[in-house]
Amino acid sequence: MIAPGLRNVQRVGRAQVGRAYAIFDTAVGRCGIVWSNSGVVAVQLPEAREIGTRRRIFQVHPEAREQPLPLNAELAIDGIAMLLQGSDPDFSDVSLDAGDVPAFNRRVYEYTCTIPRGETRTYSEIAKALGASGAAYSVAQAISKNPYMLIVPCHRVLEAGSYADRISPYGGVISKRRLLALEGAHPIASKTLFEVLLPVAPPRPS
């Protein structure tokens, strides 16, 4: 059984012709999405400024060009926007292009999609569930490279006893702690990197 969000992942390959991207608004800032003819290639969460988000997309996908959204990307964007507003979207109709994703990483992402909203798992728990108890490090590496931010909810996967706030290069300035707080999984005990980077007016001189 293919997990929600990766339902079509095993049907796609490397036959895509070019890649495109778009920038879209969410409750936490301007995000980016990259797609091919086969499906969503990557989701970029916001950097501190939109130019940083665009720069990150160009660094990883220099061939991508800004284009009107196809239906599949629109479905993904709708779900991402809902999740960032605290809802629990269904990504089961969103196709992902996994042509460049290693087989083990696909297994990790499939399992990650089964973690319910508001719950978390550790790297070791996922490795054990996949029948590879000694592969916690490999699970951590797969999570750190997750290109499908929020569609594959890697923020629900934690290092044992730690938030390990750094998500993946596609995570922008949004921390796992903040995303989990949106889902009611954990309270925010301290300021997140995103909050620290929010513009703050300098104090007026007395």
Q: Which residues are catalytic?
A: 154
Show the tokens assigned to 178. 């903040």
202 contact partners, CB below 8 Å, separation of at least 6: none
Show the tokens assigned to 81. 């926007």
DSSP per position, the chain: -PPTT-TTGGG--S-----EEEEEEETTEEEEEEE-SSSEEEEE---SSHHHHHHHHHHH-TT-EE-PPPHHHHHHHHHHHHHTTT-----TT--B--TTS-HHHHHHHHHHTTSPTT--EEHHHHHHHTT-TT-HHHHHHHHHT--BBTTB-GGGEE-TT-------GGGTT--HHHHHHHTTSS---S--HHHHHS--PPPPP-
